Structure 1
Amino acid sequence: MLGILGKLLLSASFITSIGAMVFYFISSNKDENRTLKIGNWLFAAKTTFLVIASGILIYLIFQHQFQYYYVFNYTSLDLTPRYLFSAFYGGQEGSFMLWILFSAFFGFGLMKWTRAPYKAPVLFFLTLTQVFLLSMLLGWDIFGLKLGASPFRTIAEEMPNAPFLQSNPDFIPSDGSGLNDLLKSPWMMIHPPVLFIGFAMMTIPYCFAMAALWKQQYHKWIGPALPWTLSANVALLTAIFLGGYWAYVTLSFGGYWAWDPVENASLVPWLIGTAGIHTMIIQRKSAIAQKSSILFAILAYVAVVYETFLTRSGILGSSSVHSFVDLGLYNQLLAFMLVVTLVGLGLFFWRYKELPSPDKESKILSREFMTVTGAMMLLILGLVIILGTSSPILGLLFVENPTPPEISFYNTWSMPIVMIMALLTVLGQYLFWNKYDAESLAAALINPLLVTSAVTIVSVILGDVRDLYHMVYLFCGFFAIFGNAWIMTKLTVRNPKVIGGSLTHVGFGLLLVGILASSAYNEPLVDQKTANYNTAVERGEVMDEQGFKVTQKEEMLLLNLNEPILIDNRYMVTYEGYELDNTVRRGQQTYKIRFEPIDGGKPFYMNPEVYPMLTSSTQENIQWSVDPDVRTGLMSDIYLYVGGSSYVEEQNEWVKKNAEMMQNIAAQDSLGSEEDSVNVQSFNMNPGQTIEVGNYNIRFVNYIQTDSTELPPNTTIGVRAEVELIHPASNRVITLDPLFAVYTENGQSYIFSPPAFASEFDLEFQFTQINPQENSIELTVTGLEEEYEPEWVLVVADEKPFISVVWAGTFVLMIGFSISIFRHWGREKEKNSD
């Protein structure tokens, strides 16, 4: 019943949004206030329907209504409440709902704060985007044409031909598939909402630009649009940071960026939006760059929709591990993209001749030229990224199965662009606040250049930088930092409210320096033997079995249980075992690695994690994933993750053995008696005694009484032994109580000693004999290995220098943008109060 209500509410939301759009269109053409109010009421009704539908979906999720496919596909009984809530937007349908909700809430802000003549056309274009997004959620079937995918569809509707439904149409799963283990992170709870706030806000400058073209009012739209654009960029930047930090602390590739299409989906609109901010500011200051401002506002939202098409249509399903599953929305997403692009660019070029142009070209050494040039560099960088992201599609024109570009493609093209941008930030800031000719500008830049040169030289020497390209890159990054800091200091004295731009550029410089240091100069932490081997590899002295030179250095570090090893001549590192935990992820191992600085510093522990990916594992194969551990430092981080362990190897062997056994049983293929290959060992033990057997400690605690109902008839002796099986590596203690009984039957004495099982380790214990004279017992253990391998773990430890500078640069960027937001919101508020 609730599912049907949810579908009806989404349909009502879609229909009322169309009605609102119609009335906004009429109001825009006739400047009627009455039709505008009707449109607002329909917009409010649409939003109300959507809020109630969202509440129903959240309720179904928390009530574990697994008959609904969305609930089944993204939740399970073991999820904690916070992850149940994040499952609301964990799938494609729910994420669309969240996007529409945020956009609708911002629509109410536009109703209140937007002035004529822009209000009606702005709300028209906002509602137009809502109509397309809502259509993705309808799940209508119109004469065989499917429109959208409803989050309220049932399993029977999703899989009508499933065999289990043929035999039982009312089947409801007892549990769901669960949330992807990689998404069980606080960072991923926050990242999607912030991202969709950014997407929703980026709609608004698009709407203002379209309204300006529609009403032929090309200048005043900048005032209200600029704060929204700045806010959208802060939201997208925050989302980028959260996603990057999640990747850094969750994925084992050791970085925070991989140029994946989903990552680029937020970066490209941010770049183009930032370009638009620059031209908007110039337009507000100098009444020029109207064409550029409108174009960038359109392109920023087109980039949002285009990247949405790439990541949600399934077109990059084989090229991106992060793309959403195809829900059959390809045609709708394509139509959305085409309408937004063609209407936007079509109206822009239709009005192009009417758009104001400057009376004369700006001088090179002017704020207009430098700012617009910087904006163009941002656009070029965005286009390069779009080209790389789209290459699997473009490649179909030339090859059958094109592959996405290597990371080197993006790095090669982006580095020279950002270096030019770094220089332009300084020149642009100096020329923005003062007028200079070539001679006076050179004089003003002497001090920043001297500081930049000195810091670059010191960094090159201390960082052992040998690459000339990297030296130039560092100079550009430091120049952005110190040049903008120089002008920011002067602005702070004059008026602290105007430092937003220069502070943002300081953050950009910090980001550039941090990216180079943390990615190009990270070093593996290895023992001396491995370091010598890697040195030999560098010199070309290591050959493989075929006589070819080995070029791959060794980064893995083998640690045996409780055997310290010296790494990097700085730390004694000891593997002290692991703990098993099923509270967050079933089968998760948390490894305990102790680092002890040899210079007398305080020891510390690092705890990387390994867990089986239950959603992708099978009975024949376990898919393992890892959570790295990061020890954050001011100058550098230690980044540690597990590459393998004895426990993981044992589990893989057990799964393989079990699969083979099941195949043999199915094929009725007898390979001999299993007992022939199972090792049986017996031990005599006294109460309180502990013996070490391979990877285990076995302790005979004492005798314990047993219930007479558990004994055979005519029992003369009946006693249990309390035995502890201790696994030092995992700190697991399993208590067993094997029984020993002697009973008589037909005048004969018999021993009854049923096995007690430690299934976790595939062992069985039998209490097989009592020796009263020695006060000892005999324990027989079946399943112990004849040859014991030590408990071990393979780890990869990297030192990442100055990665804190990456995070610091991001925060400074956010603060700079935020200062600008408050400044421009304040100015707009004053206009609205007049």
Structure 2
Amino acid sequence: MLGTIGKILINVAFLSAILSLIGYFLYSKEENKRFLTLSNWLFGLKGLLILAASGILIYLILGHQFNYYYVYNYTSSDLQLKYLISAYWGGQEGSFMLWILFSALTGFGLMKWVREPYRGPVLFFLTLNQLFLLSMILGLDFGSFKIGASPFRTLAEAMPNAPFIQSNPDFVPANGKGLNDLLKSPWMIIHPPALFLGFSLMAVPYCFAMAALWKRKYHEWVNAALPWTLAANLSLFAAIFLGGYWAYVTLSFGGYWAWDPVENASFIPWLIGTAGIHTMLIQRKSSTSQKASIILAMLAYVAVVYETFLTRSGILADSSVHSFVDLGLYNQLLLFMVVIVGVGIGMLIYRYKDLPSQQNESRFLSREFMTFAGAMVLFLIGMVMALGTSSPIIGWLFVENPTPPEISFYNEWTTPLAIIAAILTVIGQYLFWERHSAESLAEELLWPLVGASIGTIATIVIGNVRDLYYMIYLLSAWFALFGNGFVMFRLARRKPRLIGGSLSHIGFGILLLGFLGSSAYQSNLLDMQTRNYNVAVKEGEIRDKEGFTVSEPITLLELKLNEPKVVNDKYLVTYQGYTLRNQDRPGQQEYKIKFENINQNGSGNAFYLYPQVYPMSSADKIQWSVDVDVKAGLLSDVYLYVAGSSFVEGKNEEYKKMKNLRSGNNIQPVSQEGLEAEQDTVPTQKISLARGDSVRMGNYTFIFQDYSPVDQSQLPDSTSIAVRALVDIMYDASQTPYRTQPLFVLYAKDGKNWVYSPPVKLAEHNIEVQFTSIEPETGKIELTIEGISEKPKEEWVLLMAEEKPFVSLVWLGTFVLMAGFSVSILRHWDRERKRHR
């Protein structure tokens, strides 16, 4: 019933959008206030209907209504409340609803603050955009023709051909599939709302640009659009940061950015939008760059729609790890993109001759030229990224199975452009606030250049930088930092509200320093033997069994239980065991790795990292996923995840054996004599454990926790040693271990020493544990185990351990850049508000 109501609400909202679109068009043509009033009410009704539908969907999610496909596909009964709520936007249909909601809120703001003559056309184009978004969740089925995918589809509607549905159309699963484990992160709760808020706000400059073309008002629109564009870019950049930090602390690709299409989907509009901000500033200051401002405002939102098409249509399903599953929206998304692009290009061509042209060329050393040049560099970086993201589609013209470009493609093309952009931020800022000749500008730039040179030389010496390209890169980054710092200091003394641009550029310079340090100069943490091996590999001295030269160095650190290793002459690293944490995920292991800084003294130099591994079973094998752990530092981070372990290896072997048994590949005839001999022989194993050690034997793990006191009143007076050992026995992936306390007593009788150590039985597992010996000097104990045939396995772990210098500068630069955007928003918003009092 509720699902039906939800569908009705969405359909009525779609109808309201159509009617309000017509009303805004008529108002823009005839300027009849009645059309505006009616359209505003219809727009508001549409927003309320989507809000009500969203409430119903959240209610179904919280109520575990697994008969609805969306609830079944993205939630489970054991999901925490915060992740149940975030599941609302965790799927494609729900994320469209969130986008529509934010777009509706944006529309309410535009109703209040947009003035004539732009109000009608701006709201018309915003409603047109919402109409397409609403069509994605309509879920109308006309046989072979379908419009959208409803979030209120039942399982029977979503999977009509499933055998369990055909046999029982009213089937309701006992539980849902659950949220993707990688999305169970607080950062993923915040990231999507920030992203879709940015997408919604980025539609505003597009709508203003279209309104300017419609009404032939080509200048004043930038004053109203500028605060919205700044807000859109701030929101997008916040989303980029949240997504990057989530990737850094969750995924195992080793960083915060991988040039994935979904990552680029937010970055490309941000770059084009930032370029548009620069041309808008030129237009506001000197009434030039009208064409560039309109084109970039259009392209920023076109990039949003295009990237939405790429990541949601399924066209990049094999190229992106983040791409949404295709819901059959390919044609609708394509139409959305074609209309947004077509309307924009069509109106631009129609009005192009009417657009004002700059009468006189700008001087090279002018704020107009330098600011425009900076905007074009940002635009070129965006185009490089768009080309790389689109390469799998372009590749279909030439090859059957095209692949996305390597990361090196993006790095090689964007890095020189970033260097140019860094230099232009300084020159542009000096020329933006004051007019200069070549001589006066050179004089002004002298001190920033001196500061940048000192910073670069210091970085080269301290960081042992030997690459000339990196030296030039460092000089440009320090130049952006010092140059914009001098400008900001001067502006702050005159009028602090003017520092937004220079503060953002300082953040950009800090980011460049962080990017280089954390990527080009990260290093693997390896022991001396492995490092020497890698040196020999580099010199071509290592050959494999076939006699071929080995070219790949070792990048993984292998540790055995409680056997410390010195890595990179800096840390003493010890693997101290793992813990099964089934309450978080079934079969999840948490590994305890101790780091001690050997170059420091004192007790505060040790820290622990706890990387995790958990299974994701499939039909033919166990797939293991990892959660990284990071020790953040001011100058460097230690980044760690588990690449393999004795536990994981054992589980893989068990799975293979079970699979072979099920398939009958491992069944062999056994003679009666062999069977009787096997029954008569009880396997016996001896293991030695120090306090805190663990040993795995077959499906059992024995952990020696500590010693326990013994009540000696019941023991002979001649007892010399009496002690119990607290030994936990974990079977398979059981959550609660068996706590045993085997006894060891040494006493004298008739001039001889005697041992009393009664076995402890685990009846349900048919094994016995006996405390048979103790080493007083080392504290080690010996246990004799009966009933387990497998030999004790040495416990080890294989780690990808890296030290990443100056990652903190990436986060610092991000915050400084966002602070600069925030200051600019307040300044331009206040100016616009005062103009229309």
TM-score by length of 2: 0.89
The verdict on how the C-alpha distance between 1:111 and 1:600 changes in structure 2, with shifts beyond 3 A counting, is same
CA contact (8 A) 1:578 1:729 kept: no
Superposed counterparts of 1:27-426, under 5 Å: 27-426=27-426
| Stretch moving more, 586-595 or 102-111 | 586-595
State which of 702, 710, 718 in structure 2 corresponds to 1:696.
Answer: 702
Task: Tell me the SS of whatever aligns to 1:305.
Answer: helix
Tell me the distance in 2 between the aligned counterparts of 1:310 and 1:379.
20
The corresponding residue for 1:799 is 803
Tell me the distance in 2 between the aligned counterparts of 1:436 and 1:691.
73
CA contact (8 A) 2:27 2:120 kept: yes
The verdict on how the C-alpha distance between 1:43 and 1:697 changes in structure 2, with shifts beyond 3 A counting, is closer
What amino acid maps onto 2:150 in structure 1? S
The corresponding residue for 2:752 is none
Tell me the distance in 2 between the aligned counterparts of 1:650 and 1:43.
60
The verdict on how the C-alpha distance between 1:177 and 1:823 changes in structure 2, with shifts beyond 3 A counting, is same
The corresponding residue for 2:787 is 782
The corresponding residue for 1:765 is 767
The corresponding residue for 1:746 is none
Task: Tell me the SS of whatever aligns to 1:64.
Answer: coil
1:636 equivalenced with 2:636 (yes/no): yes
Task: Tell me the SS of whatever aligns to 1:558.
Answer: strand
Deviations 1:511-537 (A, max 9, x none): 111101110000111111111112222
Deviations 1:527-551 (A, max 9, x none): 1111111222232322223333323
Give the % identical residues. 57
CA contact (8 A) 2:195 2:235 kept: yes
Q: CA deviation at 1:604?
A: 3.1
Tell me the distance in 1 between the aligned counterparts of 2:66 and 2:510.
48
The corresponding residue for 2:658 is 658
The corresponding residue for 1:606 is 608
Task: Tell me the SS of whatever aligns to 1:680.
Answer: coil
CA contact (8 A) 1:206 1:301 kept: yes
Tell me the distance in 2 between the aligned counterparts of 1:830 and 1:450.
42
What amino acid maps onto 2:267 in structure 1? L
Deviations 1:200-228 (A, max 9, x none): 00001111111111111111111110000
Tell me the distance in 1 between the aligned counterparts of 2:404 and 2:725.
61
What amino acid maps onto 2:621 in structure 1? N
Tell me the distance in 2 between the aligned counterparts of 1:76 and 1:724.
36
Tell me the distance in 2 between the aligned counterparts of 1:334 and 1:691.
60
CA contact (8 A) 2:57 2:152 kept: yes
CA contact (8 A) 2:577 2:693 kept: no
What amino acid maps onto 2:65 in structure 1? Q
Q: CA deviation at 1:696?
A: 2.3
Tell me the distance in 2 between the aligned counterparts of 1:597 and 1:506.
34
Task: Tell me the SS of whatever aligns to 1:658.
Answer: helix
The verdict on how the C-alpha distance between 1:224 and 1:300 changes in structure 2, with shifts beyond 3 A counting, is same
| Stretch moving more, 158-167 or 819-828 | 158-167
CA contact (8 A) 1:577 1:728 kept: no
1:474 equivalenced with 2:474 (yes/no): yes
What amino acid maps onto 1:832 in structure 2? H
Task: Tell me the SS of whatever aligns to 2:664.
Answer: helix
Deviations 1:594-627 (A, max 9, x none): 111222142433333333353xx22542111111
The verdict on how the C-alpha distance between 1:174 and 1:701 changes in structure 2, with shifts beyond 3 A counting, is farther
What amino acid maps onto 2:800 in structure 1? V
| Stretch moving more, 583-592 or 49-58 | 583-592
Tell me the distance in 2 between the aligned counterparts of 1:648 and 1:266.
37
The verdict on how the C-alpha distance between 1:233 and 1:692 changes in structure 2, with shifts beyond 3 A counting, is closer
Q: CA deviation at 1:660?
A: 1.5
Tell me the distance in 1 between the aligned counterparts of 2:676 and 2:427.
81
1:734 equivalenced with 2:738 (yes/no): yes
Deviations 1:273-318 (A, max 9, x none): 0000000011111111111111110000000000000000001111
CA contact (8 A) 1:561 1:729 kept: no
| Stretch moving more, 532-541 or 560-569 | 532-541
What amino acid maps onto 1:115 in structure 2? R
The verdict on how the C-alpha distance between 1:779 and 1:245 changes in structure 2, with shifts beyond 3 A counting, is closer
CA contact (8 A) 1:563 1:574 kept: yes
What amino acid maps onto 1:648 in structure 2? V
The verdict on how the C-alpha distance between 1:137 and 1:82 changes in structure 2, with shifts beyond 3 A counting, is same
CA contact (8 A) 1:608 1:627 kept: no
Q: CA deviation at 1:169?
A: 1.6
The corresponding residue for 1:709 is none
Tell me the distance in 2 between the aligned counterparts of 1:677 and 1:516.
64
What amino acid maps onto 1:796 in structure 2? M
The corresponding residue for 2:715 is none
List gaps (5 residues or longer) in structure 2. Answer: 711-723, 743-758, 771-782
CA contact (8 A) 2:740 2:760 kept: no
The corresponding residue for 2:559 is 559
Task: Tell me the SS of whatever aligns to 2:411.
Answer: helix
Tell me the distance in 1 between the aligned counterparts of 2:649 and 2:678.
20
The verdict on how the C-alpha distance between 1:664 and 1:43 changes in structure 2, with shifts beyond 3 A counting, is same
The corresponding residue for 2:822 is 818
Task: Tell me the SS of whatever aligns to 1:623.
Answer: strand
Tell me the distance in 1 between the aligned counterparts of 2:436 and 2:192.
45
Tell me the distance in 2 between the aligned counterparts of 1:781 and 1:594.
34
The verdict on how the C-alpha distance between 1:517 and 1:723 changes in structure 2, with shifts beyond 3 A counting, is closer
Task: Tell me the SS of whatever aligns to 2:737.
Answer: strand
Tell me the distance in 2 between the aligned counterparts of 1:253 and 1:690.
32
Q: CA deviation at 1:697?
A: 5.3
The verdict on how the C-alpha distance between 1:486 and 1:684 changes in structure 2, with shifts beyond 3 A counting, is closer
Q: CA deviation at 1:479?
A: 0.8
The verdict on how the C-alpha distance between 1:209 and 1:810 changes in structure 2, with shifts beyond 3 A counting, is same
Deviations 1:452-471 (A, max 9, x none): 11111121121111111111
What amino acid maps onto 1:781 in structure 2? E
Query: How many pairs were matched up?
Result: 782
The corresponding residue for 1:717 is none
The corresponding residue for 1:808 is 812
The verdict on how the C-alpha distance between 1:684 and 1:625 changes in structure 2, with shifts beyond 3 A counting, is closer
CA contact (8 A) 2:314 2:325 kept: yes
What amino acid maps onto 1:823 in structure 2? R
What amino acid maps onto 1:830 in structure 2? K
Tell me the distance in 1 between the aligned counterparts of 2:635 and 2:109.
44
Q: CA deviation at 1:413?
A: 0.5
List gaps (5 residues or longer) in structure 1. Answer: 704-720, 739-752, 769-777
CA contact (8 A) 2:562 2:693 kept: no
The verdict on how the C-alpha distance between 1:184 and 1:757 changes in structure 2, with shifts beyond 3 A counting, is farther
Q: CA deviation at 1:131?
A: 0.3
Q: CA deviation at 1:676?
A: 7.5
Tell me the distance in 1 between the aligned counterparts of 2:230 and 2:606.
42
1:828 equivalenced with 2:828 (yes/no): no
The verdict on how the C-alpha distance between 1:105 and 1:671 changes in structure 2, with shifts beyond 3 A counting, is farther
The corresponding residue for 2:747 is none
The verdict on how the C-alpha distance between 1:436 and 1:674 changes in structure 2, with shifts beyond 3 A counting, is farther
What amino acid maps onto 1:799 in structure 2? E
Tell me the distance in 1 between the aligned counterparts of 2:626 and 2:822.
36
The corresponding residue for 2:746 is none
Q: CA deviation at 1:571?
A: 1.7
Tell me the distance in 2 between the aligned counterparts of 1:236 and 1:389.
18
| Stretch moving more, 393-402 or 674-683 | 674-683
The corresponding residue for 2:618 is 618
